[in-house]
């Protein structure tokens, strides 16, 4: 498949969709606390997307080849769940960490982003994993500019994670996005500098590293969607949608409540 270079009209629409996706995460933050179920968080997000924003929850009934339809409007991946966790009766407790992944469709365009949430008082080790994963995402984003390669992004992420004793999940990757939920290119979160597709202004894709506290191997649960670490170690993920600009990048999933760029990434820029 070819990589679509977005037009100025596409970019304006993607900027709106991305902001709306991020604002769902802003909204739900106040509700993430001990005692709430992941199903209740899904209900709140669904109502906010549909009734307040006028957006469509892209995951709901999403069914790529070989998958049963995804039954909820967001993904909630708790502790050792790596990605695609299905909201349900799970009650959050103090000490949990959780990724909430939101994708909305607005006027036919997709906005895709995720954040980690600390429930109550997680351990120092859990907090550190979330912080390093956030740094990994940003160090990958900092590689984005015309002429750079996909391998540059993956290498920056892998080097930072592994230097701190963590591992990078390899079965899942970032992806191009626009009118389709998943487009080319694939953005691996590991690799060698100078390899893979060369970036051009107008490309839009996600950078969404999944970093494990233990080994990198993962397995599928019987629900057909949820991915967990094989060794039951904690996993964390952050995600932004990024536009390649003429001289660098633009974060398409920025919002008032989004965490700031970490100091480590700012120094590396």
Whether 3 maps to a domain, the answer reads no
Q: In the Cβ-directed half-sphere of 82, how many Cα atoms lie within 13 Å?
A: 29
The answer to whether residue 58 sits within a structural domain is: yes
- Count of domains observed in the chain: 1
pLDDT single digits (tens) 38-81: 999 999 999 999 999 999 999 999 999 999 999 999 999 999 99
How much is the pLDDT for 264? Answer: 77
Q: How far apart are the C-alpha atoms of 260 and 3, rounded to whole Å?
A: 30
pLDDT digits (tens, 9 = 90+) for 252-262: 999 999 999 99
| Reported confidence tier of residue 161, pLDDT bands at 50, 70, 90 | very high
Percent pLDDT > 70 in the chain is 98
Distance, in Å, from the CA atom of 49 to the CA atom of 47, rounded to the nearest integer, reads 5
Contacts of 266 (CB under 8 A, 6+ apart): none
Residue 57 domain-assigned? yes
For 112-155, how does the pLDDT look when each residue is reduced to its tens digit (9 = 90+)?
999 999 999 999 999 999 999 999 999 999 999 999 999 999 99
In a domain, 78, yes or no: yes
What is the pTM assigned to this prediction?
Answer: 0.96
Residue 235 inside a domain? The answer is yes
CATH number of the domain that residue 123 is part of: 3.90.230.10
Across the range 168-190, mean pLDDT stands at 98
DSSP 8-state code for residue 51: I
What domain range is 96 assigned to? 8-268
Domain assignment of residue 90, yes or no: yes
Instruction: Give the separation between CA 79 and CA 59, rounded to whole angstroms.
Output: 21
Residue 1 is assigned to a structural domain of this protein:
no
- Whether 179 maps to a domain, the answer reads yes
């Amino acid at each position: 498949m070819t990589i679509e270079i977005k037009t100025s009209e596409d970019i304006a629409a993607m900027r709106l969709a991305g902001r709306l996706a991020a604002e769902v995460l802003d909204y739900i933050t106040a509700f993430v606390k001990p005692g709430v179920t992941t199903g209740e968080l899904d209900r709140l997000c669904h109502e906010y997307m549909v009734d307040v924003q006028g957006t469509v929850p892209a995951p709901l009934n999403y069914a790529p080849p070989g998958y049963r339809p995804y039954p909820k409007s967001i993904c909630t991946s708790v502790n050792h769940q790596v990605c695609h966790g299905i909201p349900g009766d799970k009650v959050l407790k103090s000490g949990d960490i959780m990724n909430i992944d939101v994708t909305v469709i607005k006027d036919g365009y997709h906005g895709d982003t995720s954040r980690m949430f600390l429930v109550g008082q997680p351990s120092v080790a859990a907090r550190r994993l979330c912080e390093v994963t956030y740094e990994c995402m940003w160090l990958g984003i900092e590689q984005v500019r015309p002429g750079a390669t996909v391998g540059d992004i993956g290498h920056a992420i892998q080097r930072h994670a592994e230097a701190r004793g963590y591992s990078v999940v390899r079965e899942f990757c970032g992806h191009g996005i626009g009118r389709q939920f998943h487009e080319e290119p694939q953005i691996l979160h590991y690799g060698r500098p100078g390899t893979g597709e060369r970036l051009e202004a107008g490309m839009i894709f996600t950078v969404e590293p999944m970093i494990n506290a233990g080994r990198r191997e993962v397995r599928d649960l019987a629900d057909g969607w949820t991915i967990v670490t094989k060794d039951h170690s904690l996993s964390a993920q952050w995600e932004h949608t990024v536009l390649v600009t003429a001289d660098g990048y633009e974060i398409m999933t920025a919002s008032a409540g989004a965490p700031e760029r970490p100091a480590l990434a700012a120094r590396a820029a």
